[in-house]
Amino acid sequence: MLSDFLNIVNTPEYNDFSTLFFGIIIEALPFVLLGVLVSILVGLYVDTKVVFKYLPKNRILSHIILSLLGVFMPVCECGNVPVLRRLLSKGFSVSHAVTFLLAAPILNPITAWSTYEAFKDIAPEVIWIRLLAAFIIANLVGLIISTFKDQESLLTPAFYEEVCAHDHSHEQSKFAQAVDIFQTEFVEVMKMMVLGAFIAASIQIFVPRDVILEIGSNPVLSIISMLVLAFVVSICANVDAFFALSYSAIFSIGSLVSFLVFGPMIDIKILTMLKTTFKMRFLIELSILIAFLSFVTGLIVNLFI
């Protein structure tokens, strides 16, 4: 029994699994903590009444404003999950919070800069197409969700209970409130992050990349291939452009755009983290919708640009 265990522990597969698994966690951890910090600041200092007073009543305009919040918060997608949860706790609708979640990892200065650095020489059009596509998809998805009459039904019962509990904030010191937000958000997000990292690292070790990349030269299949890759690798939005760039020799530009738009919005890691907040059925529908819109974006680029 012990020798069997030691045999596994001494394999390169086990070594690489542990390095990849901890690589994902260590890379994401400061972003999650930054997200929790923003969540604490929003929880303590943002007066929802004031925000709603200045937020335009027009449905389209209000979603556009939420989609541009990432400009002030250049955090990758893992960090935005705690912020999304805090926005919902503060009374923002699911459609507003999801619009923020989808747009912020891409429509922020760091991602824009890294995309520029990566693609400025070989395909500069990727930069503006990525930003524009993220803006359109995030707002479109948000507007579609805003047509749902009962948006709260998309939340898990546990989170919905939590949202209601936040409405009765008791008279605690600021520090006690900050600790309260910290412990809830951190554990809620990290427990799923651990699961997401486990799945992502396992796939990286046990599924050969050439299975995904073999169809890379076909203008349609290459987009699907890159969408699958984005979903599997769960790479941080701030640097995914450099990753995508390494595929530019064999993959169509449209497929790279699809990768850059879809990856920051939906991947294994994010889905497991969002499971703390939304019902699974909604997450599946959301993923399919975003995958479809990212696919269409890639196809338009391949055919017309």
Structure tokens given for 39: 């969540």
Q: Is 186 in the site for other proteins (CB under 8 A)?
A: yes
Q: Is 78 in the site for other proteins (CB under 8 A)?
A: no
Q: For residue 225, what is the enclosing H or E element?
A: helix 221-233
- Count of CB atoms situated within 10 Å of the CB of 55: 15
Q: Is 7 in the site for other proteins (CB under 8 A)?
A: no
| Span 223-242, contacts to other proteins by CB under 8 A | 233-236, 238-240, 242
Which of 187, 280, 303, 305 binds other proteins (CB under 8 A)? It is 187
Give the integer Cα–Cα distance in Å for 302 and 73: 32
Distance of closest approach, residue 295 Cβ to other proteins, in angstroms: 23
Q: Is 182 in the site for other proteins (CB under 8 A)?
A: yes
Q: Is 27 in the site for other proteins (CB under 8 A)?
A: yes
Give the integer Cα–Cα distance in Å for 251 and 246: 9
Q: Is 132 in the site for other proteins (CB under 8 A)?
A: no
Give the integer Cα–Cα distance in Å for 78 and 274: 10
Q: Looking at 42-50, 80-88, 124-132, 190-198, which segment touches other proteins (CB under 8 A)?
A: 190-198
In degrees to the nearest 10, what's the CA dihedral of 43, 48, 50, 51?
90
Site string for other proteins, 33-52 (x = CB under 8 A): xx-x----------------
C-alpha distances in Å from residue 181, one per residue of 100, 117, 137, 170, 213 = 20, 37, 31, 13, 42
Q: Is 1 in the site for other proteins (CB under 8 A)?
A: no
- At residue 278, φ and ψ (nearest 5 deg) are -110, 155
Residue 155's DSSP bridge partners are: 278
Which of 183, 218, 303, 305 binds other proteins (CB under 8 A)? It is 183
Applying CB under 8 A, which residues contact other proteins? Answer: 11-13, 15-16, 18-20, 22-27, 29-30, 33-34, 36, 118, 121-122, 175-176, 178-180, 182-184, 186-188, 190-191, 194-195, 200, 204-210, 213-214, 233-236, 238-240, 242-243, 245-249
